[in-house]
Amino acid sequence: MLIWLIVGFIVVPFVMAALAALSRTVRWIWHLLAVISFYISGSIVAAAVYRNIVHQTVLTTNVHDLLLNPWFLVSGSFLGLYIPYRMLVGLWVHLRR
């Protein structure tokens, strides 16, 4: 299973970049999903930190509540693929000059 995760982390950004090169709409969708994912992840983290402050607990003892949240997992996973995608696009633009 670990090998599939590693291969997916390498291959999927290349596929995203190829699809974005073919269609401006796909590029727009990737950006929109990234912004939405950023706000979802940030809101979940902010809520977890606030909850820990209110209950006077330590974040490291309650970190599993944060990391097992399905919304956080999905949005964080997309951001984990989007960042290498943007780096590939930036590299491609830089090499074309």
What percent of the chain stands above pLDDT 70? 100
Of the candidates 40, 43, 37, which has an alpha carbon nearest to the alpha carbon of residue 83?
37
On the question of pLDDT at 16 being above 90, the answer is yes
Q: Given pLDDT bands bounded at 50, 70 and 90, which one contains residue 6?
A: very high
What percent of the chain stands above pLDDT 90? 76
On the question of pLDDT at 21 being above 90, the answer is yes
In whole angstroms, what is the distance from residue 77 CA to residue 12 CA?
11
On the question of pLDDT at 59 being above 80, the answer is no
Q: Given pLDDT bands bounded at 50, 70 and 90, which one contains residue 9?
A: very high
